Chains A and B, each alone.
Chain A
Amino acid sequence: MGIAGGRLVGCYGGEISKDRRAALSPARHTHRGKIGPMSSRPRSGGKLAFAPRVLPLGDGAVMAELAGALDLDANAAAHRIAADVRRHAPEWVVDVVPAIVTVTVHFAAATAADAAARRNGATRLLMEAIERAGGAAPAAPERVVEIPVCYQAPHALDLAEVAAATGLPEDEVVRAHVGAAHRVLMIGFAPGHPYIGGLDARLEVPRRATPRPRMAPGAVAIANAQTSIYPFATPGGWNVIGRTPLVLFDPARDPPSLLAAGDGVAFVPISPEAFERIAAGRGR
Chain B
Amino acid sequence: MTVKVLRPGALATLQDLGRRGLQHLAIVPGGAMDPVAHRVANALVGNRGDAATLEIAVSGPELLFERGALVALAGARFDAWIDGAAFPGARPALVRAGARLRIGRATAGAFAYLAVAGGFDVAPVLGSRSTYLPGHFGGLDGRLVAAGASLPLAAAADGLGRARFARAIRKRREVVLAGGAARSVSWFAPNLTVPTTEPAIGRAVEGAHAALFTDAARAAFYGERWRVAPDSNRMGYRLLGPKLELVTPTEIVSQATCLGTVQVPAGGQPIVLMVDHQTTGGYPKLAELIGADAPLIAQVPPGGAVRFVATKLDEADAARAALAQRAAELIERILWEFGDADA
| Chains A and B form a bound pair | yes
Contacts of A57 on B, CB cut-off 8 Å? 208, 256-258, 261, 288
Contacts of B313 on A, CB cut-off 8 Å? 56, 59, 116, 119
Contacts of A67 on B, CB cut-off 8 Å? 253
The reply to whether B288 and A59 form a contact with Cβ atoms under 8 Å apart is yes
Which of A13-21, A27-35, A92-100, A125-133 lies on the face that meets chain B? A92-100
Give the B interface residue count (CB, 8 A). 43
Contacts of A69 on B, CB cut-off 8 Å? 251, 253
Which of A102-110, A145-153, A168-176, A207-215 lies on the face that meets chain B? A102-110
State the Cβ distance, B250 to closest chain A Cβ, in Å. 10
Contacts of A70 on B, CB cut-off 8 Å? 253
Which of A185-193, A263-271, A276-284 lies on the face that meets chain B? A185-193
The residue that A251 contacts in the complex, of B126, B205, B314, with Cβ under 8 A, is B126
* A241 beta carbon closer than 8 Å to chain B: no
* A139 beta carbon closer than 8 Å to chain B: no
Cα distance A234–B258 when bound, in Å?
A: 21
* B175 beta carbon closer than 8 Å to chain A: no
Contacts of A251 on B, CB cut-off 8 Å? 125-126, 135, 137-138
B contact patch SS: mixed
* A122 beta carbon closer than 8 Å to chain B: no
Cα distance A96–B256 when bound, in Å?
A: 10
18 A-B contacts, Cβ less than 8 Å apart?
A: A55-B208, A60-B259, A61-B256, A96-B24, A97-B23, A97-B24, A106-B23, A109-B320, A115-B320, A188-B26, A188-B254, A188-B280, A190-B278, A192-B25, A193-B26, A249-B25, A256-B126, A260-B25
Contacts of B21 on A, CB cut-off 8 Å? 94-95
CB contacts under 8 Å to B, within A185-237, are: 186-193, 195, 232, 234
Q: Which of B25, B288, B314, B324 has the most CB of A within 10 A?
A: B25
State the Cβ distance, A85 to closest chain B Cβ, in Å. 11
Give the A interface residue count (CB, 8 A). 52
CB contacts under 8 Å to B, within A26-75, are: 38, 55-61, 63, 65, 67-70
Chain B 125-146, CB-CB to A under 8 Å as 1, else 0, gives 1100000101111100000000
Contacts of B279 on A, CB cut-off 8 Å? 97, 188-189
* B316 beta carbon closer than 8 Å to chain A: yes
Known: A102-B255, A256-B126. 12 other contacts (CB 8 A): A57-B288, A63-B256, A95-B22, A100-B253, A100-B255, A109-B320, A115-B321, A119-B313, A187-B24, A187-B26, A232-B134, A256-B27
* A82 beta carbon closer than 8 Å to chain B: yes
Cα distance A96–B207 when bound, in Å?
A: 19
Q: Which residue of B lies closest to A118 (CB)?
A: B317
The reply to whether A110 and B321 form a contact with Cβ atoms under 8 Å apart is yes
The reply to whether A63 and B135 form a contact with Cβ atoms under 8 Å apart is no
The reply to whether B26 and A189 form a contact with Cβ atoms under 8 Å apart is yes
* A3 beta carbon closer than 8 Å to chain B: no
The reply to whether B256 and A104 form a contact with Cβ atoms under 8 Å apart is yes
Contacts of A102 on B, CB cut-off 8 Å? 253, 255-256
Q: Which of A59, A101, A119 has the most CB of B within 10 A?
A: A59
The residues of A with any CB-CB pair to B shorter than 8 Å are 38, 55-61, 63, 65, 67-70, 82, 94-102, 104, 106, 109-112, 115-116, 119, 186-193, 195, 232, 234, 249, 251-252, 255-257, 260-261
The reply to whether A115 and B317 form a contact with Cβ atoms under 8 Å apart is yes
Contacts of B26 on A, CB cut-off 8 Å? 187-193, 257
CB contacts under 8 Å to A, within B287-336, are: 288-291, 313-314, 316-318, 320-321, 324
Contacts of B324 on A, CB cut-off 8 Å? 110
The residue that B317 contacts in the complex, of A65, A109, A249, A255, with Cβ under 8 A, is A109
Smallest CB-CB A-B distances: 4 pairs:
A188-B280, A58-B288, A104-B256, A59-B316
The residue that A95 contacts in the complex, of B24, B125, B290, B320, with Cβ under 8 A, is B24
* B260 beta carbon closer than 8 Å to chain A: yes
Cα distance A1–B316 when bound, in Å?
A: 59
Cα distance A163–B125 when bound, in Å?
A: 42
The reply to whether A58 and B260 form a contact with Cβ atoms under 8 Å apart is yes
State the Cβ distance, A205 to closest chain B Cβ, in Å. 17
The residue that A58 contacts in the complex, of B23, B258, B278, with Cβ under 8 A, is B258
Cα distance A111–B321 when bound, in Å?
A: 5
Contacts of A257 on B, CB cut-off 8 Å? 25-26
Q: Which residue of B lies closest to A254 (CB)?
A: B126
Cα distance A58–B255 when bound, in Å?
A: 14
The reply to whether A58 and B290 form a contact with Cβ atoms under 8 Å apart is yes
* B20 beta carbon closer than 8 Å to chain A: yes
The reply to whether B255 and A232 form a contact with Cβ atoms under 8 Å apart is no
Contacts of B23 on A, CB cut-off 8 Å? 95, 97, 104, 106
Cα distance A191–B137 when bound, in Å?
A: 10
CB contacts under 8 Å to A, within B189-211, are: 205, 208
The reply to whether A188 and B278 form a contact with Cβ atoms under 8 Å apart is yes
The reply to whether A255 and B25 form a contact with Cβ atoms under 8 Å apart is yes
Contacts of B260 on A, CB cut-off 8 Å? 58
Cα distance A56–B321 when bound, in Å?
A: 18
